[in-house]
Amino acid sequence: MRAWALFLERFGGEPEGVWLAPGRANLMGEHTDYNDGFVLPFALGQGVTAAAAVASGALAARRLTLCSRQEPDTAVSVDLDGLAPGQVTGWAAYPAGVAWALEAAGYRVPGACVAIDSDLPVGAGLSSSAALECATALALTSLAGVEIPRADLVTIARRAENEFVGVPTGVMDQSASLRCQAGHALLLDCRSLEVAQVPFDPVAAGAALLLVNTRARHALSDGEYGRRRAECEEAARRLGVPSLRSVTDPADVDRLDDPVLRRRARHVVADDQRVLEVVTLLRSSADVDAYGEIGRLLSQAHASLRDDFEVSWPEADAAVEAMLAAGAAGARMIGGGFGGSVLALAPAASLDTVRDAVTATFAERAWTPPEFLSAAPADAARRVA
Ligand code: GLA
């Protein structure tokens, strides 16, 4: 338990516990969450761990002291009474933002020491930020002796990211980290915030999931994400609906004169539809080729994200193309875009060929070799020690 060891080393005592929050991959529904639509993420085995204890001695005042194995040079100590958005920058803004959001929601956070470790690659589109928020949220609420319903904790963690860190993300990532179940994908209706667990076990059906970190870094804060969001809001306004979720007939999108807004809306409306189609396929256990169909939908979604929503990037396009040519049932970029990871579904027997095809394509172009990650639908955030 590396977070435990880090805590001992940095704070000179034992933590009261260790909490783990997973990253996520998203099976279907990209850029649909902030349009009040549907998403279908699943939690990964990899995540962020936080070892924590209430501060004692000289640190006992209302201070939150944070250190991270991945950022060894920046231990950060903040005054819980003086926290305000914009005041903490860098990685520590996420955990500090959670303390701020908890206090803003009326929970008193005790002075605490938190040591953080992660086995999730940062910038790979696998929600390392949400995992950091959610691990911190579980640690701090446990130390405070309060149990907050998961749905409320999602709101608090998201508020930390939106208002304290200042990134205008939707509700998918925190929901996935806090509400997924092993062996399932999480169907989340981002309008009602209702969730359903959908059995998702590709291995049992002879299929394999392959997660490829293309190593092209993504940064959500660089403005493109916010621009897409604004375009979707403008499209909804021109169509006279509260959000693009309300557009259920794809033909309605054609009423938009502006070609860019039309493309953006077309992606969102189609991806919402694809989420529901994947859910139907997963629930129809009688259909032997459900995974072949899901694969087809994945590739369709990639084309839509590349051509209509315009958030893909060269490494993702090349990886998808290589995997399909090598026998994958389907593949697509996941997450916000402009870098990050690709998710593929392949018959288990062709997994090695598919993987080798990506490696070869990247080598031909002299790109940094891709990283392959396992992607078995795992459990949500929890206490691990
Ligand atoms: C990022 C955001 C999510 C979601 C995805 C795109 O991961 O954090 O809220 O909008 O991009 O689907």
Bridge partners of 79, per DSSP, are 63
Percentage helix, strand, coil, to 5, in the chain? 45, 20, 35
Confidence label for 319 from pLDDT (cuts 50, 70 and 90): very high
- 3-state class (DSSP) for residue 243: coil
Per residue, the 3-state secondary structure of 77-126, as one string, reads EEECCCCCCCCCCHHHHHHHHHHHHHHHCCCCCCCEEEEEEECCCCCCCC
The residues carrying an active-site annotation are 173
Question: For helices 128-144 and 93-104, what crossing angle results, to 10°?
Answer: 50
* C-alpha 105 to ligand 1 mean position (Å): 24
Which pLDDT does position 68 carry in this prediction? 97
* Minimum-distance ligand 1 atom for the alpha carbon of 29: 12
170 lines ligand 1 (CB under 6 A): yes
173 lines ligand 1 (CB under 6 A): yes
179 lines ligand 1 (CB under 6 A): no
31 lines ligand 1 (CB under 6 A): yes
The string of pLDDT tens digits covering residues 334-376 is 999 999 999 999 999 999 999 999 999 999 999 999 999 989 9
Distance separating alpha carbons of residues 333 and 124, to the nearest angstrom? 11
Q: Whose CA is nearest to atom 8 of ligand 1?
A: 169
Question: Using the 8-state DSSP alphabet, how is residue 188 labeled?
Answer: E
Bridge partners of 26, per DSSP, are 41
* C-alpha 37 to ligand 1 mean position (Å): 12
Question: Mean per-residue pLDDT for 187-194?
Answer: 98
Residue corresponding to tokens 């516990």: 17
Instruction: Classify strands 76-79 and 195-199 as parallel, antiparallel or unpaired.
Output: unpaired
Q: Whose CA is nearest to atom 2 of ligand 1?
A: 169
* C-alpha 170 to ligand 1 mean position (Å): 6
0.95 surpassed by pTM? yes
The string of pLDDT tens digits covering residues 266-313 is 999 999 999 999 999 999 966 568 999 999 999 999 999 999 999 999
The string of pLDDT tens digits covering residues 66-101 is 999 999 888 899 999 989 999 999 999 999 999 999
Residue 65, classified by CB atoms within 10 Å of its CB into exposed (0-12), middle (13-18) or buried (19+), is middle
CA atoms within 13 A on the CB side of 250: 11
The string of pLDDT tens digits covering residues 94-152 is 999 999 999 999 999 999 999 999 999 988 999 999 999 999 999 999 999 999 999 99
For 324: left if phi > 0, alpha if psi spans -120 to 50, otherwise beta; the answer is alpha
Distance separating alpha carbons of residues 97 and 84, to the nearest angstrom? 8
The string of pLDDT tens digits covering residues 25-75 is 999 999 999 999 999 999 999 999 999 999 986 556 799 999 999 998 888
pLDDT exceeds 60 at position 220: no
95 lines ligand 1 (CB under 6 A): no
172 lines ligand 1 (CB under 6 A): yes
Q: Which pair of structure tokens corresponds to residue 226? A: 């916010």
Helices and strands: H and E segment counts in the chain? 10, 13
* C-alpha 252 to ligand 1 mean position (Å): 25
* C-alpha 125 to ligand 1 mean position (Å): 9
| Other beta carbons less than 10 A from residue 59's beta carbon | 16
The answer to whether 45 and 376 have CB atoms below 8 angstroms apart is yes
pLDDT above 70 covers a percentage of the chain that reads 97
336 lines ligand 1 (CB under 6 A): yes
* Minimum-distance ligand 1 atom for the alpha carbon of 170: 9
Q: Which residues contact 188 (CB under 8 A, 6 or more apart)?
A: 33, 38, 39, 40, 41, 171, 172, 175, 176, 179, 194, 195
* Minimum-distance ligand 1 atom for the alpha carbon of 32: 12
